[in-house]
Amino acid sequence: MTTIHDLAGIGIGPFNLSLAAQLDSISGLDIRFFDRAPRFDWHPGMMLPGVELQTSFLKDLVTATNPTSPWSFVSYLVAHKRFYEFLNADFEAVPRREFASYLAWVAENLPALDFGCNVREVDFDGRHFTFAFDDGERRLARNLALGVGLTPHVPDWARPAIGSRAFHSSETACRLGCSQGRRFAIVGGGQSGAEIALHLLSAAPAGTEVLWISRRSNFQPLDDSPFADEQFTPSYVERFHALTEPRRRATVERQKLSGDGISMSTLRSLYRRLYELRHLGDGPHARLLPHREVLDLVLEGDEARLVMRNGFDGSIEMASADTIVLATGYNQALPDFIAPLKSKLALGEDGLFRLNRDFSVKWDGPADRRVFALNAGRYTHGIAEPQLSLMAWRSAVIVNALLGRRHFDLEERPPLVRWTSEDHPAPATMMSAQGRRPPPPPVQNRA
């Protein structure tokens, strides 16, 4: 007899792991999540010493909507007998290794996860989604949750050197120690580039040359001020989704540093290390090159030369390197296994999913059969979509949509910031004619 799941999740990263953790609080559903990897391992290639989260540990898999869940970060601390020591350590930001350990602990203990299972193809037979594995097994599902993540972005100019001279930052921890030569070029001015630069300047031997290249006009901090953080709230996401697509895209481009800047703690550590190297002792030699756009890579024998345009003075510059680390971000792309379904799915001009408010893909199929896509809505749900910040809320939205009822209470007070012309809550001191405060305007249920 063919198994029919109420929900099948494909890909087990933090976002589908959050969905699985939220669904674990509900009985009577048949859910399974599949991943081709043999075990959960979150960004192992970026686990350099001392790297930190840019997000509060309270924005974990479940806490924002289900604080009594056994799968919270605080539950992890208690289970590992380190609650008090964690508090006493008074981290400015949570070590990324700690959060990775928390995620792995949840993945090891949730019962609905299957690793070592590669989904080869997904289709729809008119009633159910059908999916086939590499070993020939086939299953059915009423709903799908796609959480396959993003793919590393490699600029065209770097492709001839990939493998021999260049690698993406997602492989840094695995590749950096095996690199030949003492000239390193880091391309990318975000958090990943900053972490790699700091690591090399702290750990590399004297005589090493570290070039840090960025298209940005300077090495710019993450805007995590209180009002910038309002863009990482459910009320903002709802209002953002209601905008027209051109307006959404323009808004996202203006918010670059709210989601992709460098932590102030990392910038301070970098500057202090640069001060030490310049004035107090020997070590690696640093060259900081902001406002440079890499135009080409010239390979001549053992020599690799980067051709750059200086955006500050307009000149053309060249720099040589033995190893090039591409901290150039990630791309969104449709997974290959979804090809049989592609003609039924609504895609934008960029070839990516068009998402409803509940994170389901608009499609030509029954309304009670849905494909939920996680981390696929940067231009439909805003800059919080690829971040950890709202994963618990997003999972709760999907759970409510799946159940067709309000299992999680997701209603919010009117936002503190009036994003739209309709955001006009009555002042708290305003009284009605009968001497009572008027009720707040209703907020529509997300599900």
Percent of the residues in the chain that have a pLDDT greater than 90, as a whole number = 87
- pLDDT value of position 425: 56
Question: Would you say residue 69 lies in a domain?
Answer: yes
What does the pLDDT look like over 4-46, one tens digit per residue? 999 999 999 999 999 999 999 999 999 999 999 999 999 999 9
Structure tokens at 261: 């800047």
pLDDT score at 433: 39
Q: Is the pLDDT of residue 347 over 70?
A: yes
pLDDT at 431 over 80: no
Q: Which residues contact 134 (CB under 8 A, 6 or more apart)?
A: 118, 120
pLDDT at 92: 87
300 plus 163 within the same structural domain:
yes
Q: Residues 185, 317: one domain? A: yes
Number of domains in the chain: 2
Tell me: do 201 and 128 sit in the same domain. Answer: no
What's the whole-number mean pLDDT along residues 241-249? 95
What is the SS3 string spanning 221-257? ECCCCHHHHHHHCHHHHHHHHCCCHHHHHHHHHHCHH
Predicted TM-score (pTM) of the model is 0.92
- The 10s digit of each residue's pLDDT in 178-187 is 888 899 999 9
Q: What's the rounded Cα separation, in Å, for the pair 168 and 187?
A: 10
CA–CA gap between residue 11 and residue 24 (Å, rounded)? 17
For the stretch 67-89, pLDDT in tens is 999 999 999 999 999 999 999 99
Examine the pLDDT at 436 and tell me if it is beyond 60.
no
pLDDT for 440 beyond 80: no
Length of the chain: 447
The domain containing residue 59 runs over which residues? Answer: 4-150+332-403
Give yes or no: residues 351 and 315 share one domain. no
Question: What kind and span of H or E run contains 279?
Answer: helix 264-279
CATH value at residue 99: 3.50.50.60
Both 321 and 336 in one domain: the answer is no
Give the mean model confidence (pLDDT) for residues 144-173. 94
Q: Flag whether 215 is in a domain.
A: yes
Same domain, 169 and 210: yes
